[in-house]
Amino acid sequence: MTVVTGSCLCRSVRYEAELPFLRASHCHCSRCRKHSGTFGGTQGRVPKERFRLLEGEELVRVYEPAPGAARKAFCSRCGGSLFGGFWPEGEEVSIRLGSLDEDPQIKPQHHTFVDSRAVWDELPDDGLPRYAENPPK
Amino acid sequence: MTEIVRGSCLCGGVKFEVELPFVVAHHCHCTTCQKHSGAAHTTSGRARPSQITILEGKELLGSYQPAPGQGNKTFCTVCGSSIFGGAWPDGEYVSVRFGALDGDPGLRPQARTFVAYNAPWYEIPDDGLPRYEERRP
């Protein structure tokens, strides 16, 4: 069993996840862009039972952009972006890959919501599939 | 006529405007930028503080400085959106996250910095931008 650890920038929030990640992607939607401050969000998913929050749960703040919309969970002390999806109730945990301290042994597999990308986001050709909105089911 | 670009965080609580032009823009791949954005890098433009006006929500801004002398990370404490950085708010130049902008910054990212710290899960695309191991000279 391989476990990777992750933490926010100030390291007050720490977690671990058992590999493998189920999938990973870059999302260029405007909500991910606003939250991250860059082109969008990059995240990978693990089932809830393979994830453990080790420290700092009281510092994790959750913002829900609209009812039912994917959430943005971050450290209230340092602003480090940590989790998305339906944290903390979701069956899968969407982990921001930038918060990991170790190699998740997966790389983003596609780009989603590219039709919503910023005017300055030139989306260079990296060979990954691109989807206008969500990936096909 | 002075050209202005507006910006805001994800929850809309913080609103600002920047008088163009930005002097420089880049993607920073350093570890603190990964942790803060949750992505492989931040993307920011630099401007003088006198070019930036906070229109609303100044009281919502939180700031975290990873280490003395390092650029700070300034974010909305409600939604976790990354907004400003570098020597915000007192430096000669400060960073504005491009992801927070609602319009065209007029400039495109021109370089990739701190690529020596690039995440193991991210392949830097072959986009022709100059890459610097650490700071841009």
Rounded to the nearest angstrom, the minimum Cα separation between A133 and chain B is 18
Token pair in block for residue B61: 């801004």
- With an 8 Å Cβ cutoff, are A42 and B79 in contact? no
For chain A, 137 residues long, give each residue's pLDDT as a single digit of tens.
899 999 999 999 999 999 999 999 999 999 999 999 999 999 999 999 999 999 999 999 999 999 999 999 999 999 999 999 999 999 999 999 999 999 999 999 999 999 999 999 999 899 999 999 999 88
Distances (CA, A) of A114 to A43, A98, B71, B100: 16, 20, 30, 17
Q: What are phi and psi of B82, to 5 degrees?
A: -80, 130
Give DSSP secondary structure letters for B13-71: --EEEEESPPSEEEEE--HHHHHHHSSS-EEEEEE-GGGEEEEE-GGGEEEE-SSTTSP
Under 8 Å between Cβ of B40 and B22: no
| DSSP 8-state assignment for residue A8 | -
ipTM score: 0.97
Rounded to the nearest angstrom, the minimum Cα separation between B1 and chain A is 22
Query: CA-CA distance, B87 to B68, in Å (whole number)?
Result: 11
Rounded to the nearest angstrom, the minimum Cα separation between A110 and chain B is 12
The owner of tokens 């823009």 is B25
How confident is the model over B102-112, as pLDDT tens digits? 999 999 999 99
- With an 8 Å Cβ cutoff, are A72 and B41 in contact? no
DSSP bridge partners of A51: A17
Contacts of B75 in chain A (CB under 8 A): 74, 79
Percentage of chain A beyond pLDDT 70 is 100
CATH 3.40.50.300 is held by the domain B4-117: no
Summary count for chain A: helices (H), strands (E): 1, 10
- With an 8 Å Cβ cutoff, are A98 and B39 in contact? yes
Domain range summary for chain B, segments of one domain joined by +: 4-117
Distances (CA, A) of B87 to A13, A75, A128, B1, B108: 25, 21, 36, 28, 21
Query: CA-CA distance, B44 to B37, in Å (whole number)?
Result: 12
- Domains of chain A listed by start with CATH number: 3-22+40-107 (2.170.150.70)
How confident is the model over A59-96, as pLDDT tens digits? 999 999 999 999 999 999 999 999 999 999 999 999 99
Token pair in block for residue B100: 């927070």
